[in-house]
Amino acid sequence: MSAPATRKQGKFELEASDGAARAGLLHLAHGSVHTPAFMPVGTQGTVKAVSPEELEALGAEIVLANAYHLYLRPGHELVRRQGGLHKFMNWPRPILTDSGGYQVFSLAKINEVTDEGVWFQSHIDGSRHFITPELVMDIEYALGADVIMALDECPPGRADRETAARAVERTQGWLERCARRLDQLSTGEGSQLLLPVVQGGTFLDLRLESLRRARDLCDWGGFGIGGLSVGEPKQLMYEILEGMSPELPKHGVRYLMGVGYPADLLEAVRLGYDLFDCVAPTRNGRNGTAFTSAGPVNVKLAAWRDDVSPIEAGCGCWTCRSYSRAYIRHLFVAEELLGLRALSIHNLYFLTELMRQARAAICEGRLSGWVDGWTERYVS
């Protein structure tokens, strides 16, 4: 059985473009997502320290969850018996699950990688597991996310050409098996949008080969770009993104995986990418770093001790509408849980709002100037 030539689950509607940049609407089973969009990361079926109601209030339209983590704990079959991930975590809007490939290659202890799959040991309890493209589809199908990613091999950021080429080859083989398995599971009528992951390291020709071979297989609803922002020089990442952008289909969503920090997001938007995710806003928030338009700030700064102003003047987030810098600082100094929540919400709002502003600038044809002005003020 071969994969269908076209996949109709989900639809990316291009609303406006500005240079390479795009404003779009991604229609999915559980709702639509305005792009460019930043996806908060809910690794274990919860965005750390933030509730679904708070995610909705800060403007998140889609969240990401990690197949690897949910497979290990509590188990995808348990989530399925609970009515699927949307119901389990009480988030009725779109969800994207990654394939777990990145986590297997970064978190777990790898025992053996073959074309068939990967033997690895759990980072939680050391238990041995064998992950295959078929198992990944079983997991993502059971979780029931709107967008699901194919299993890819993700080599380190400075992998040599040979390693990168082998990852492209293996990722391609795994993609075909993912598509086949998903069609079996959903009998070709599922609502989940399966996206291939483009690999190829920092070699543009390999990237284009990876993309071309996936395109030859089927008319996908979009593409994930994996294996970037994993340690390679930033300029190299931008060059790869710029080189790939014209080759990516216009009417498909473009998801740059694991990016990122504010300045990277804006550069990627300018280069034509639509979807992003990163643990940075929540992880930085829990570590006491607030995103502001002037750059990241450590909230324990002595200067904040007596400050009655919010983290950022004019910010519309719950945290800034509710609390002074002095209170936020107090929460962190006193190690209060509310501080973790307050900064996570502020940082997520910051990126969500950044994408909203980028979208408005694209629609009005003034993105590049706006990005330059923004980047000039931001000292990272």
Q: How far is CA 355 from CA 241, 361, 370, in A?
A: 18, 10, 12
Strand ranges of the sheet holding 128-131, from the earlier edge strand across to the other edge: 109-113, 118-121, 128-131
Q: Residue 313 or residue 334: which is nearer to a second copy going by CB?
A: 334
Q: Are 105 and 154 in contact (CB under 8 A)?
A: yes
Q: Residue 193 or residue 331: which is nearer to a second copy going by CB?
A: 331
- Record the tokens describing residue 325, joined without a space: 């810098």
d(CA 197, CA 144): 19
Q: How far is CA 67 from CA 70, 251, 340, 343, in A?
A: 5, 27, 25, 26
Least distance CB 88 / a second copy (angstroms): 6
Amino acid at 351: L
Is 133 buried (19+), middle (13-18) or exposed (0-12) by CB count in 10 A?
buried
d(CA 161, CA 236): 14
Is 302 buried (19+), middle (13-18) or exposed (0-12) by CB count in 10 A?
exposed
Strand ranges of the sheet holding 197-198, from the earlier edge strand across to the other edge: 37-39, 275-277, 253-256, 222-225, 197-198
306 catalytic residue (yes or no)? no
- Record the tokens describing residue 99, joined without a space: 């394939």
Is the CA virtual torsion 288, 290, 296, 297 positive or negative?
negative
Closest CA to 138 of 195, 196, 186: 186
Query: Of 98, 146, 152, 274, which one is the catalytic site residue?
Result: 98
Q: Which residues bind a second copy (CB under 8 A)?
A: 44-46, 48-52, 69, 73-74, 78, 81-83, 88-90, 305-306, 308, 322-324, 326-327, 329-331, 333-334, 336-338, 340-341
Q: Residue 220 or residue 304: which is nearer to a second copy going by CB?
A: 304
Residues near 310 by beta carbon (within 8 Å), at least 6 away in sequence = 319, 320, 321, 323, 324, 325
Least distance CB 84 / a second copy (angstroms): 12
Least distance CB 143 / a second copy (angstroms): 13
Closest CA to 62 of 41, 48, 88, 44: 41
Query: Of 18, 138, 152, 277, which one is the catalytic site residue?
Result: 277
172: Cα separation from own chain's centroid? 21
274 catalytic residue (yes or no)? no
Q: Are 148 and 185 in contact (CB under 8 A)?
A: no
Q: Among all residues, which ones are annotated catalytic?
A: 98, 277
